Homo-oligomer: A and B are copies of this chain.
Amino acid sequence: MTTRRRRLRLGMIGGGPGAFIGPVHRMAARLDDRYEFVAGLLSGDPTRAIAGGQALGLDDDRIYTDLAAMMAAERSRADGVDAVAIVTPNRHHYEAAIACLDAGISVICDKLMTTGLSDAQDLVARVARTNLIFAVTYNYTGYPMVRQARAMVVAGEIGALRTVQVEYAQDWLAEPLERTGHKQAAWRADPKLAGPGGAIGDIGTHAFNLAEFVTGARIVELAADLSRFVPGRALDDNAQILLRFAGDARGALWVSQVAPGHANGLRLRVYGSRGALDWQQERPNELRFTRLGRPTEIRARGGPGLASASAGHGGRLPAGHTEGYLEAFATLYADAADAIGARLGWNDPPVNGPLLPSVIEGARGVAFIEAAGASAERNSVWMPIEVTA
């Protein structure tokens, strides 16, 4: 029988009224009951920060309006936060992350980790000098069938990697929503807040990360053609990108936020010399697997034919009882809890530790958008993607 143990204390920077991803982080943290949300700097606007904290039931003395004050207060409390979730617009991630690391607090940072690669490399170096946990919420890696896919590739079930088709298509920016007062659209369309990538930063990085996560291979160069289809838009809203992996493997990545009919159409297909895998985020409980010369199989979360449990988190429910986005997100929080718990001496280092996207994955996402931008500026010349660990 499990012994009784306190929940981890979680703080949050960003995620106040009107936010999308802040509430997602909070639900994800809550689902498995391993975190207690106790402190927050929920907005850069003090009035909203306070209102948000009150609405969420935080104690008054842990509703913050200033980053330095939050750090000072939490590090001095006996019951200070064990981890902070950073869920602001991209522009503020770097400053918040440094503050947490300096305060000795582990970080769960939303992507895009930083708006530039030099900041990202700086975070890589800083994290290396601590023993803190720094997770970046490339949340699609938390889906059980994505982890299943990775385990199958690692186990050699598709043979040598040949080609990868990955796409992430949405349609919510097919018209200039950012000029209508829509908060989510506005900051993503503003280079000052979002960084240099539009669709490639907002969702392309997920596609890039997913391709590397499942294949276990690094994408070493890319050739990109970026478009801004909506007149007046400052950042790309569609990109066609060729990929070259370490070794001979090739691929293509398509990202669009102007593709009618796609709500959140992330799909990855991986082809090897002996088999292939196909996963779609909008049917996340299925993974199609073809062994060359055999019929395609539909492998289902919780169903027969799966790799051993060491593949990662298999979900919370029996087969057929669908799980979704929040459960996958919660799995990253559970993995982070295992990792932080190990640091606190509560448990052994987690078997699944390597599955949790780290500061390196965070930096590679930033390198991806810089390479894509540079390639596009030079008429799609091949550009390398390099992060120094």
Binding site for B on A (CB under 8 A): 1-2, 4, 17, 20, 23-24, 26-27, 30-33, 51, 54-55, 57, 158, 162-163, 165, 167, 170-172, 174-175, 223, 225, 227, 229, 238, 240, 242-244, 248, 250-252, 254, 256, 258-265, 271-276, 278, 281-285, 288-300, 302-305, 316-327, 379-380, 382
Q: Is the CB of A320 within 8 A of B282?
A: yes
Copy count, this protein chain: 4
Rounded to whole angstroms, the CA-CA distance of A55 and B5 in the bound complex is 9
Q: Is the CB of B324 within 8 A of A260?
A: no
Rounded to whole angstroms, the CA-CA distance of A320 and B257 in the bound complex is 13
Rounded to whole angstroms, the CA-CA distance of A172 and B298 in the bound complex is 17
Rounded to whole angstroms, the CA-CA distance of A56 and B362 in the bound complex is 34
When distances are taken between beta carbons in the complex, the residues of chain B under 8 Å from A282 are: 285, 320, 322
Q: Is the CB of A296 within 8 A of B298?
A: yes
Chain B nearest CB from A226 CB (Å) reads 9
Q: Tell me the nearest residue of chain B to A305, going by C-beta.
A: B295
Q: Is the CB of A320 within 8 A of B162?
A: no
Rounded to whole angstroms, the CA-CA distance of A248 and B236 in the bound complex is 13
Q: Is the CB of A55 within 8 A of B319?
A: no
When distances are taken between beta carbons in the complex, the residues of chain B under 8 Å from A316 are: 23, 27, 326
Report if A163-B238 is in contact (Cβ < 8 Å); known contacts: A259-B271, A320-B264. Answer: yes
